[in-house]
Amino acid sequence: MTRATAVAHPNIALVKYWGKTDRELNLPATGSLSLTLDIFPTTTTVEVTDDPFDRVVLDGVELSGEESARVRTVLSLVRELAGSEAHAHVTSTNTVPTAAGLASSAAAFAALAKASSVAYGLSLSDAELSRLARRGSGSACRSIFGGLARWNKGTSDDTSIAEPLEWSGEPLSMVVAVISSARKKIGSRAGMNHTVETSPYFEGWVSSNAVLLERASRAVHDADFTSLGEIAEMSALRMHASMLGAEPPVRYLTGTSFAMIDAVQELREQGIEAYASADAGPNVKILCRSREAALVTERLRERIEDVKMHVANAGPGAYLLDEGERPSEA
């Protein structure tokens, strides 16, 4: 096949990924654990062509230079695996704001890995796709899988991959509170590297987060929602604490972000079990049981006005679309 289209969804890390031991290979300083959502899909088409160069179009705008460098990196790896020198046209459409801390790159590179491998005639396992997606964006390795996934830190390109986790508890949902959809001033990679290089708290973050990952994995195995939620909120706050300790500080959260986190903690005091998380951006994600997602959303809207909220459930892993088919989620 010389043309393929794939869809992937963003994932939200419950145990966070922040910091790398190898920037070229995107090897993480610690493992992580995430929930793939069923909203905000990215659809990517890769077509192998006779052109002398790759073309990358995102949301109708052709990218060049540094903006398309990571896409070309993934395409080069695929060409190497396929024994091909042919270039490709990549057309990608996001339904989530790009660079707003809503994991658009995770969905984008998971979709790219899936589509490009098929377009070049490869038949890769999910583990191989996870490894390939990681080279474009670290967290993309988790969006290859649906539901809960654990990214094992590993020690090399071959061993740093994600794997799916089974959850036997009540269905999980994530309420996404969009504080701002504007492009953030400090990109994730720049913020991450700056934290690693200058924050005296980074090593403490790494060692403590590794412990949280094992605790979260046990909570998933035991279907212990309370423990999983407590760990998720703790991991997020510790990650942002390491950023605030950088010189100068890296601050993604706003006053409204903290107000939302406070509101989530107040919900728990009222007997509604929900837990806040936040990534490299101002937006807050609230983990809850699916049966309480509507109630959580209603109560938070009462407390924090003028904030868009989206309810997401556990979503699918990256998948192929037939020619002319549209994604089932919007």
Name the pLDDT band for 1 (thresholds 50, 70, 90).
low
Q: Which domain holds residue 259?
A: 172-313
Q: 147 with 242, same domain? A: no
Q: 257 with 111, same domain? A: no
Q: 242 with 137, same domain? A: no
CATH number, domain of 260, equals 3.30.70.890
Q: 112 with 199, same domain? A: no
User: How far are the Cα atoms of 21, 140, 221, 268 from residue 41, in angstroms, in the given order?
Assistant: 29, 13, 28, 31
Whole-number pLDDT of residue 101: 57
Is residue 319 domain-resident? no
For residue 12, what is the enclosing H or E element?
Answer: strand 11-15
Residue 160's contacts (CB-CB under 8 Å, 6 or more residues apart) are 25, 26, 27, 28, 131, 134, 141, 151, 152, 153, 154
Is residue 139 domain-resident? yes
Q: 162 with 233, same domain? A: no
Predicted TM-score of the model (pTM): 0.94
Is residue 37 domain-resident? yes
Q: 92 with 105, same domain? A: yes
Cα separation, 161 vs 138, whole angstroms: 9
Is residue 322 domain-resident? no
Q: 123 with 200, same domain? A: no
Question: For all residues of the chain together, what is the average pLDDT?
Answer: 94
Domains of the chain: total: 2
Whether the pLDDT of residue 28 is over 60: the answer is: yes
Summarised one tens digit per residue, pLDDT across range 286-329 is 999 999 999 999 999 999 998 999 999 999 999 999 876 777 65
Whole-number pLDDT of residue 330: 46
Give percent of the chain above pLDDT 90: 88
For residue 298, what is the enclosing H or E element?
Answer: helix 293-303
Summarised one tens digit per residue, pLDDT across range 239-276 is 999 999 999 999 999 999 999 999 999 999 999 999 99
Is residue 329 domain-resident? no
Domain boundary among 167, 187, 205: 167
Relative to beta strand 55-58, strand 87-94 is parallel
CATH number, domain of 155, equals 3.30.230.10
For residue 278, what is the enclosing H or E element?
Answer: strand 274-278
